Chain A
Amino acid sequence: MQHIIEKVLTQIESVVLGKPRECRLALACLLAKGHLLIEDLPGMGKTTLAHQLAISLGLSYQRTQFTSDLLPSDVIGVSIFNQDTKTFELHKGPVFNQVVLGDEINRASPKTQSALLEAMAENQVSIDGVTYDLPTPFFVIATQNPLFHSGTYPLPESQLDRFMMRLSLGFPDLKAEKKILQGSDDTITGEHPNVLNSEQLIEMQQAVQNITVSSDVIDYVIALCQVSRYQFMDDKKLPQNKAVLSSGLQCAPLSPRAGKSLLAAAKAWAYIDDRDYVLPDDIQAVFYEVCQHRLEPQQYQNTAGSSSAAKQILGLVDVLNPLAY
């Protein structure tokens, strides 16, 4: 399988130039069956990345541009009365594709946003009392503009939590930018055949799930989550040496779901790395993308700086003795 992964990655990286880490993370997210949120300024290649992911993985996809007047039925679909058959017929919305590309999701009204997010959580939609299963694999790749842009509705914390990762692409380096400017406009379409089909993808997802996680690594994940919760804990329950952790750190606590997502993403990262066991390195590699939007949902800037909560938490936990503070 490894050569296929390599192929997929090379293909994506040839389109999204100069961003190998982000491409890898996006792939890991999908392998871990997670939904992906890409947040950046307009024109940074968000849609390109989402698009290419869908193509390379050989999945059916449809892109929906979210606008403020988009209605839930525009996303999910609608039952229409057929005059000929005298029955209601379902007109499936874009959500019935394997990959749903929700462009600028935070431009839509909260009602529309939550319609999509419900589908993400349940893997099914109900229209007029009838429940329809969504196809497998099912991914939502959403992009959004930074929230200080005008005409945006911020996603609430509960809905942000449904995304396994929040990626930020950032500006390309000089070399990559030159290549982008030299390249033709139609790099995306046509030339890139599918590398995978959906069966293979499901197989891979299965393989990712089977990756070994030792109890040390689980301890490490628990320790990371614990650190984020200290400020909400009773003083008596805190570990003795809490002076190390007590001051400075202000963030939302990480939920058990966050811990699960973290493990899943780390497994996928290990899989891409061609390993059948997870290392703390994998946890650290995906930690920022998996946890930062849960820790600091209100911080909308590209906060790759050293002061982010995720970075601080990583700095506070001993890798080899995670639970022995």
Chain B
Amino acid sequence: MKITHLFNKLLVKQAVSKPKFYLTRSNAWLLWLSQLLNIALLGFELAYWMLAIILLCFCLQALRIQQNVKPDHPNPVNSQLNWLALKTVSPMVLLIFALLGCIAIAVTAKSFGILISMIHLLSFSYILKAFELRSRKDFYQLILLGFFVLASSLIFTQNLYFSILAFAVLMINLLVLLQYFSPSNRVFKNSKLQFLLLAQSSVLAVLLFLFFPRLSPFWQVPLAKSAQTGLSATVQPGDIAKLARSSELAFRVEFSEDTIPAYSQLYWRALVLDKYDGRKWSKSNEKNIWGLALFQKELKGLETLASDEAISYRVTVEPSFQPWLFALPVARTAETGIDLLPDYTLKSKRIVSQTQSYSVTSYVNQAKLRPLTKTEQRINLSYPVGSNPKLEALGAQLREQFQSPQDRALAVLTRFNELNYYYTLEPPLLVNNSLDQFFFDTKAGFCSHYASAFTFLMRSAGVPSRMVTGYMGGEINRLNAKGGSKGHLNIYQYDAHAWSEIWLKGIGWVRYDPTASVDPSRVNQGFSERLAEQRDNLDNNFFSLQSFKHFAWINNLRLTLDLLDYQWTKLVIGYSAQKQYELIKRWFGQVQSWTFGLIMVSSIVLVLLLLFFINIYLSKVRIKAKERTPWGALYSKSLTLLTKKGLTKSPDETVNHFAKQVALKFPKISKTFYKLSHLFNQLNYQQISHEQQLVLLSKMKNEFKSLNQQVNKLSYKN
């Protein structure tokens, strides 16, 4: 009670002036709910202080609805409904509050980035707008703002489930609107009606989606500063083990040929790390002009290769907010917006902030033949001397013991295999990331430990070598396998992997995966049972369907959902201007760009015309259903004329009574309207012959014509 009293004193001015805007109680709550849901979908993007403000506003709003004002003159037709007029909030208080909020947003804008601050501003205004519902216009604005808020939540997530959720919330938003116009209907009945309406309009939506020109945007949504996921630019020995606990999707691959390479061949390269500072691996940023020139030459050489050497596939990456992309070795792509780096990795020109797909051709069996430049040799042999003395000593020993680099590498791999090395997701902590400690003492680690130690050893043994991170393997979803396609491949974060490449004279860069020596199952079929169990124990996502893989039907369900999500990503989100062009080409044959434009424009015009005529037809049907008689139709037309002038006949009013009202308000048209009303009465209530009816009806039509003219004249004078 006290709080509400305080609230009254602080914020609420009692409705002094007659409020003009009414809602039914149920609709007010529905509006409140829709606002709550709209904001909830954006919740993760908003700062805590903003969420706190919004929550406070919601509480105040709920109080306002509780303490509504009974309107003085509710709609007479629906006077039995529970109408309420919200108490008004003083505009001064609102203005001050809005200004304070804007200042707060402006102050934090620097750290949030433009997009997030704009979304804060949008949400904030959306919440405040609910406090100044004074007229129907405000109500419309609020609903419209709600659509914007809802749409902006789709900037951040676009997967199928979220889209369905957003659609459901959209339904509630629309329901508020529908409930406003037919308040006496039950919510359930209105939602049925709304479902019908949406089903009808979805046809239009599909057409627009397919054919509306996808103009390149005049302005682009600024990049969101969001948490980066997936592989990072630097790798410390323990890093990938942490990543391997996540069962989030990293990317999907669909092969265009009917073969999917063997599991052990699926090394998705992302980053080549060739600089080691004793603690972590990173990319050296030394300029290497010679290497670049050689690389260009090599790329040209690839073009001449036989096409049966190549594997083509399409990769769809989930947003990682990092630039690197994934491909099998020696990849080529013709996509603009993707750079091919001399280390044979792909890099997007923009950060991957949305689901993005690209097609790649890989020459898996092709060695990377290009000779090593001096710079490259230096980089790939350097290591901080003295950082791991025991390993360095072992490297020197290897160099003496074996002539060829292959033998040196083999010796290390044999050691991993034969001695008691252990592959685990929970590696013991190392002091200062000491590789010595791992190699000689703990002997337990994840892929990055083995790859680090191996690369380090190779370097100290005088073999150019480097660390590669990426993903290994993937899960095949064969549910959509038919015809040429064998289904698609899902690569999850737990497939993250690290391995080594060493440079062999005459052969080039060759992949060496020390993990294969320690835990061969990892590179042949994925996580061994023991490792998977370990992962599930670490993964605190109890509800993840991943952990129920061994139940066949759950696994099936998971794969089906995955397929749906994939199709959604591929077909709906990935429907670009290019794809649109291809589709139209497929349907209409080769088309010039102007014909293309013509098809689009004409399809839109066609749809609009269709809608227009359907509307006219429907309104005629509606009139027929309501006014079974021509005079009834004529009378209701003249009522429409007068409604436009602000005079509405209430349903319980008789024709004569309304004619008197008209005479009071518009004396100039009273004579004609009296005549018209009288004719209607005669036609509707008097028992007359058909001939008489026709005579009276034509008279009534004449009266209507002159009424129409007179009403129009009214508007010129007023």
A-contacting residues, B605-650, CB 8 Å? 626, 632, 635-636
Contact between chains at A247 and B685 (CB < 8 Å): no
- A195, B626: Cα distance in complex, Å: 48
CB distance from B53 to the nearest CB of A (A): 37
B686 adjacent to A281 (CB under 8 Å): no
Chain B 178-205: CB-based contact to A (< 8 A → 1; otherwise 0): 0000001110010000000000000000
- For residue B681, CB closer than 8 A to chain A, the reply is yes
* A316 contact set on B, CB distance < 8 A: 80, 652
Decide if B654 touches A284 in the complex (CB within 8 Å): yes
**Cα A247 to Cα B287 with chains together (Å):** 84
- A183 located at the interface, meaning its Cβ lies under 8 Å from any Cβ of chain B in the complex: no
In the complex the two chains form, is B684's CB within 8 Å of A317's CB? no
Does chain B have a CB within 8 A of A130? no
**Structural contact, B651 and A246, CB atoms closer than 8 A:** no
| A129 at the B interface (CB under 8 A) | no
**0/1 per residue, A64-93, Cβ < 8 Å to B?**
000000000000000000000000000000
Contacts of B682 in A (CB 8 A): 277
Q: Are A281 and B626 in contact (CB under 8 A)?
A: no
For A264-292 the 0/1 string (1 means CB < 8 A from B) is 00000000000011111100100000000
Complex contacts, B686 vs chain A, CB 8 Å: 212, 214, 276-277
Q: Which residue of A lies closest to B186 (CB)?
A: A243
The reply to whether B184 and A243 form a contact with Cβ atoms under 8 Å apart is yes
Instruction: Report whether A279 and B656 are in contact in the complex, using a CB–CB cutoff of 8 Å.
Output: yes
Is the beta-carbon distance between B653 and A319 smaller than 8 angstroms?
yes
Q: Looking at B78, B184, B626, which has the most chain A CB atoms within 10 Å of its CB?
A: B184
Of residues A241, A280, A284, which shows the largest number of chain B Cβ atoms within 10 Å of its Cβ? A280
Q: Compute how far the CA of A304 lies from the CA of B420 in the bound complex, rounded to whole angstroms.
A: 104
Residue among A212, A217, A245, A318 making CB contact with B651, cutoff 8 Å: A318
Q: How far is the CA of A50 from the CA of B439 in the complex (A)?
A: 123
Instruction: Say yes or no for A127: interface residue by CB 8 A criterion.
Output: no
Task: Tell me whether A243 and B687 are in contact (CB under 8 A).
Answer: no
B657 and A281 form a contact (CB under 8 A): yes
Name A216's contact: one of B78, B184, B684 (CB within 8 Å). B684
Assess A246 versus B80: contact at CB under 8 Å? Given A279-B656, A284-B654, A319-B653. Answer: yes
Q: A276 CA to B682 CA in the complex, in Å?
A: 10
Query: In the complex the two chains form, is A277's CB within 8 Å of B687's CB?
Result: yes
- Asked if B79 lies at the interface with its beta carbon under 8 angstroms from chain A, I say yes
Q: Could you say which residues of chain B place their CB within 8 Å of the CB of A277?
A: 682, 685-687
Which of B45-91 touch A at CB < 8 Å? 76-81
B78→A244 contact, CB < 8 A: yes
Could you say which of B80, B656, B684 contacts A244, with CB atoms under 8 Å apart? B80
CA A321 to CA B639, docked complex, whole Å: 15
Given A241-B184, A244-B77, A315-B76, A280 and B687 contact (CB-CB distance below 8 Å): no
Minimal Cβ-Cβ distance residue in A for B656: A281
For B636, list chain A residues within 8 Å (CB): 320
Q: Is the interface of B mostly helix, strand, loop or mixed?
A: loop
* Chain A residues within 8 Å of B654, by CB: 279-281, 284, 319
Interface centre among B77, B80, B186 (most CB of A within 10 A): B80
Find out whether the CB atom of A243 lies under 8 angstroms from the CB atom of B685: no
Report the nearest A residue to B182, measured CB to CB: A241
| Residues of A contacting B79 in the complex (Cβ-Cβ under 8 angstroms) | 315
Q: Is A324 an interface residue (CB 8 A)?
A: yes
Verify B651–A319 contact, CB threshold 8 A.
yes
B196 to chain A, nearest CB (A): 16
A134 within 8 Å of B (CB atoms): no
> Which of A240, A247, A277 neighbours the largest number of chain B CB atoms within 10 Å of its CB?
A277
Q: Counting CB contacts under 8 A, is B655 at the interface?
A: yes
Q: Are B685 and A319 in contact, with the CB atoms below 8 A?
A: no
| Assembly CA distance A214 to B657 (angstroms) | 19
Kindly report which residue of chain B lies nearest to residue A283, judged by CB atoms: B654
Chain B CB within 8 A of A252 CB: no
Q: Does A248 contact B (CB under 8 A)?
A: yes
Q: Does A17 contact B (CB under 8 A)?
A: no
Q: Does A207 contact B (CB under 8 A)?
A: no
Question: What's the minimum C-beta distance from A213 to chain B, rounded to whole angstroms?
Answer: 8
In the complex, the chain A residue whose C-beta lies closest to that of B650 is A315
Are B652 and A319 neighbours in the complex by a CB distance under 8 Å?
Answer: yes
Q: A281 CA to B677 CA in the complex, in Å?
A: 12
A217 engages B685 (CB within 8 Å) = yes
Q: In the complex where A214-B684, A277-B686, A319-B651 touch, is A243 in contact with B656 (Cβ < 8 A)?
A: no
Indicate whether A115 reaches chain B with its CB closer than 8 angstroms: no
Give the Cβ gap from B193 to chain A, nearest Cβ, in Å.
12
A203 to chain B, nearest CB (A): 21
A225 neighbours in B (Cβ, 8 Å): none
Q: For B632, give its contact among A314, A317, A320 (CB under 8 Å).
A: A320
Evaluate contact between A214 and B685: CB separation under 8 angstroms.
Answer: yes
- List of B residues within 8 angstroms of A319 by Cβ: 651-655
Pair B651/A320 contact, Cβ less than 8 Å: yes
Q: Which residues of B contact A281 (CB under 8 A)?
A: 654-657
Tell me whether A279 and B685 are in contact in the complex, defined as CB-CB below 8 angstroms, given that A243-B81, A246-B80, A319-B653 are known contacts: yes
- Docked complex Cα distance between A253 and B686 (Å): 30
Contact across chains for B184 and A247 when beta carbons are under 8 A apart: no
In this complex, which of B76, B79, B626, B685 has the most chain A Cβ atoms within 10 angstroms of its Cβ? B685
Q: Beta-carbon contacts of B78-111 to A below 8 Å, as 1s and 0s? A: 1111000000000000000000000000000000
Hey, which chain A residues are within 8 Å of B184, CB to CB? 241, 243-244
In the complex, the answer to whether B652 meets A315 with C-beta atoms within 8 Å is yes
**Assuming the A-B contacts A214-B684, A214-B686, A316-B652, are A245 and B80 also in contact, with contact meaning beta carbons closer than 8 angstroms in the complex?**
yes
> Which residues, 223 to 252 on A, are CB-close (under 8 Å) to B?
240-241, 243-248
CA distance A281 to B685 in the complex (A): 11
Residues from chain B with a CB closer than 8 A to the CB of A214 are 684-687
Q: Which of B653-695 contact A (CB under 8 A)?
A: 653-657, 681-682, 684-687
Q: Which of B186, B189, B635, B652 contacts A317 (CB 8 A)?
A: B652
Cα A324 to Cα B651 in complex, Å, equals 11
> Bound state CA distance, A254 and B656, in angstroms?
26
Closest to B686 in A: A277
Cβ contacts A86-112/B at 8 Å (1 or 0 each):
000000000000000000000000000
Which residue of chain A lies nearest to B687 when distances are taken between CB atoms in the complex?
A212
With both chains docked as a complex, state the minimum distance between the C-beta of B656 and any C-beta of chain A, in angstroms: 5
Provide the residues of chain B in CB contact with A315, threshold 8 Å.
Answer: 76, 79, 652
> What residues on B are CB-neighbors of A241 within 8 Å?
184-185
CA distance A179 to B322 in the complex (A): 99
Q: What residues of chain B lie closer than 8 Å to A314, measured between beta carbons?
A: 652
Closest to A241 in B: B184
- Chain A minimum-CB-distance residue to B625: A324
Our pick among A212, A247, A276 for the contact of B80 (Cβ within 8 Å) is A247
Taken together as a complex, chains A and B put the C-alpha atoms of A24 and B179 apart, in Å, by 46
CA of A317 to CA of B635, assembled, Å: 18
Chain A residue numbers with a CB within 8 Å of B655 are 279-281, 319-320
What is the CA–CA distance of A244 and B652 in the complex, to the nearest angstrom? 13
- The answer to whether A278 and B685 have CB atoms under 8 Å apart is yes
Shortest C-beta distance, A231 to chain B (Å), equals 13
Binary flags per residue of B471-486, CB closer than 8 Å to A gives 1, else 0: 0000000000000000
B335 to chain A, nearest CB (A): 58
The distance in angstroms between the C-alpha atoms of A247 and B185, with both chains bound, is 15
Q: How far does the Cβ of B706 sit from chain A's closest Cβ, in whole Å?
A: 22
* Alpha-carbon distance between A212 and B81 when the two chains are bound, in angstroms: 37
Q: Which residues of B contact A248 (CB under 8 A)?
A: 80
Cα distance A5–B81 in the bound complex, in angstroms: 45
Interface centre among B636, B651, B657 (most CB of A within 10 A): B651
9 nearest A-B pairs in the assembled complex, by CB-CB distance: A318-B651, A277-B686, A212-B687, A214-B685, A281-B654, A280-B654, A243-B184, A315-B652, A281-B656
Interface residues in chain A, defined as those with a beta carbon under 8 Å from any beta carbon in chain B: 212, 214, 216-217, 240-241, 243-248, 276-281, 284, 314-321, 324
Q: List 15 A-B contacts (CB under 8 A).
A: A214-B687, A241-B184, A244-B78, A277-B686, A279-B655, A279-B656, A280-B655, A280-B685, A284-B654, A315-B76, A316-B652, A318-B652, A319-B653, A319-B654, A320-B635
Q: A240-B189, A243-B78, A279-B681 are in contact. List 7 more A-B contacts (CB 8 A).
A: A212-B685, A214-B685, A244-B184, A277-B686, A316-B80, A319-B653, A319-B655
